[in-house]
């Protein structure tokens, strides 16, 4: 059982903030398939297509029949802890700063034995459940959890190194004028966030839900317009060193593709919000968050970018807006590489068609702000980096993974409807 996490003490400004030190990040090329699945919260193992043997760790040929034909598939996530040890000294800076650190060997039900980090509630001979997550170096690792609920399980010290639980953390939501921004504020407040900063552009202009926003516990309105560099920079100067989780939900979307418009004005507005807005936020808040990636139990830990799933493969009905989301997704991947080792997860939330006015004629199923906000908070609590939200998004994402070119052709054939 873990001790309940307490709110952090007020930071002493005279004490130096510890710099992030990444865990070992070297992996073989074969192992990147495991890390990609771990970012989605999936535990996968290689399976030999010739003899059916499951392989661990990742390799280029089957250890039984030496066939090079290996494919990734979901592995058994239950097993038995057969050995454990506690690391009390290490030459690696990351582990030296965090000792004692428990690791062990788990024999999987119907599979091989694997090495995993250990939750403090599991002991040798216990039945355990394995989860795969990305660590602070961005590589996939395994952790063995109790095969059942225990008190304050999410507060285990080693588990928190792999997750981004909002409890006691400080949040910034970039657009509180939208229904989604207001639902995100409610969800983070309910999850125990210490403070939820909600950005409001043109605060003098009334908007629906303004009064309700004031009633949400721990919510503070701040002036923020992601299309205005001065606005973003000024807010970063005020609270940039205090933001632990940044959620970018700012979005500008209008129907139409390249040939539906006579100029680039609307496309420029979409890029200003969806791409350049993200870029401004990353440049203004990213360095301070990156420097605070090892700042105690409640360090800075995540930047969440909410994007259309059609950023993966464009549907022409909203072709121009989705092109700006595709640019933002590419930027997000670039920043993920720049942030590697800092402890800041770059979380891409790919959502299906949303229930809002500009998609009035888009046929259901649509995803609601409540669904999106719950999925994002849950994803942070679980430590995921890639989220797919909504039935349409899940279906499109699976087809994109199987054959991106075929999906692109299908979307063209469908006439471009989302």
Model confidence over 40-75: pLDDT tens digits?
999 999 999 999 889 898 989 998 899 999 999 898
Model confidence over 249-283: pLDDT tens digits?
999 999 888 888 888 999 999 999 999 999 999 99
- Looking at domain 29-157, does it have CATH number 2.40.50.840? yes
Q: How far apart are CA 311 and CA 330, in angstroms?
A: 9
Top-ranked range on mean pLDDT: pick from 44-48, 194-198, 338-342: 194-198
What would the two tokens of residue 77 be? Answer: 């996530």
Helix axes of 319-339 and 276-291: crossing angle, nearest 10 degrees: 20
pLDDT confidence of residue 143: 97
H helix or E strand, kind and range, residue 141: strand 140-146
Q: How far apart are CA 212 and CA 203, in angstroms?
A: 15
For residue 399, pLDDT beyond 60: yes
pLDDT confidence of residue 18: 81
Q: How far apart are CA 68 and CA 190, in angstroms?
A: 49
For residue 416, pLDDT beyond 80: no
Q: How far apart are CA 170 and CA 140, in angstroms?
A: 27
Model confidence over 77-136: pLDDT tens digits?
999 999 999 999 999 999 999 999 999 999 999 889 999 999 999 999 999 999 999 999
pLDDT confidence of residue 418: 60
Q: By the 8 A CB rule, do 196 and 376 touch?
A: no
In angstroms, what CA-CA distances link 203 with 176, 177, 196, 243, 251? 10, 9, 17, 21, 17
pLDDT confidence of residue 306: 97
Q: By the 8 A CB rule, do 327 and 312 touch?
A: no
Model confidence over 216-229: pLDDT tens digits?
999 999 999 999 99
Residues of the chain with CATH 2.40.50.840: 29-157
For residue 345, pLDDT beyond 90: yes
Residues of the chain with CATH 3.40.50.720: 170-413
CATH of region 170-413, choose from 3.40.50.720, 3.40.710.10, 3.40.630.30, 3.30.70.1710: 3.40.50.720
Q: How far apart are CA 134 and CA 37, in angstroms?
A: 9
Q: How far apart are CA 253 and CA 325, in angstroms?
A: 10
Judged by DSSP in three states, 129 sits in: strand
Q: By the 8 A CB rule, do 288 and 295 touch?
A: no
Q: By the 8 A CB rule, do 31 and 140 touch?
A: yes
Q: By the 8 A CB rule, do 289 and 335 touch?
A: no
For residue 369, pLDDT beyond 90: yes
User: What torsion do the CA atoms of 191, 195, 201, 207 make, to the nearest 10 degrees?
Assistant: 60
Over range 330-337, report the average pLDDT: 95
pLDDT confidence of residue 45: 93
Q: How far apart are CA 371 and CA 377, in angstroms?
A: 10
Q: Give me the helices (H) in 64-139, please.
A: 93-96
């Amino acid at each position: 059982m873990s001790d309940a996490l307490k709110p952090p003490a007020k930071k002493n400004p005279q004490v130096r903030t510890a710099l992030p030190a990444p865990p070992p990040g070297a992996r073989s090329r074969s192992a990147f398939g495991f890390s990609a699945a771990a970012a989605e919260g999936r535990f996968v193992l290689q399976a030999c297509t010739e003899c059916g043997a499951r392989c661990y760790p990742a390799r280029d040929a089957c250890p039984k029949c030496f066939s090079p034909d290996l494919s990734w598939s979901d592995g058994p996530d239950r097993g038995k802890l057969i050995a454990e040890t506690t690391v009390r000294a290490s030459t690696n800076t990351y582990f030296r700063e965090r000792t004692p650190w428990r690791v062990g060997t788990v024999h999987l039900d119907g599979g091989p034995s694997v090495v995993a980090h250990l939750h403090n509630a599991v002991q040798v001979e216990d039945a355990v459940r394995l989860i795969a997550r990305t660590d602070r170096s961005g590589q996939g690792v395994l952790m063995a959890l109790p095969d059942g609920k225990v008190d304050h399980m999410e507060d285990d010290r080693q588990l928190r190194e792999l997750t981004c639980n909002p409890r006691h953390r400080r949040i910034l939501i970039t657009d509180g004028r939208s229904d989604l921004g207001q639902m995100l504020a409610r969800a983070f407040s309910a999850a125990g966030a210490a403070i939820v900063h909600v950005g409001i552009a043109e605060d003098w202009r009334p908007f629906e839900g303004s009064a309700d926003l004031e009633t949400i516990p721990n919510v503070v309105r701040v002036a923020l317009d992601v299309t205005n560099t001065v606005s973003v920079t000024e807010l970063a100067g005020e609270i940039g060193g205090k933001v632990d989780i940044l959620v970018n939900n700012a979005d500008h979307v209008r129907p139409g593709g390249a040939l539906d418009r006579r100029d680039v004005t609307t496309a420029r507005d979409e890029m200003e919000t969806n791409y350049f807005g993200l870029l401004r936020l990353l440049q203004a808040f990213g360095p301070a968050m990156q420097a605070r990636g090892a700042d105690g139990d409640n360090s800075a830990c995540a930047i969440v970018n909410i994007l259309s799933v059609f950023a993966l493969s464009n549907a022409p009905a909203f072709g121009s807006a989705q092109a700006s989301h595709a640019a933002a997704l590419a930027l997000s991947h670039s920043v993920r590489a720049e942030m590697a080792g800092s402890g800041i997860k770059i979380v891409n939330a790919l959502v299906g068609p949303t229930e809002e006015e500009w998609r009035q004629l888009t046929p259901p199923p649509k995803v609601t702000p409540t669904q999106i906000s719950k999925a994002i908070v849950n994803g942070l609590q679980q430590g995921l980096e890639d989220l797919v939200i909504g039935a349409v998004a899940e279906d499109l994402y699976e087809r994109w993974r199987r054959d991106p070119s075929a999906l692109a052709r299908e979307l063209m054939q469908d006439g471009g409807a989302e």
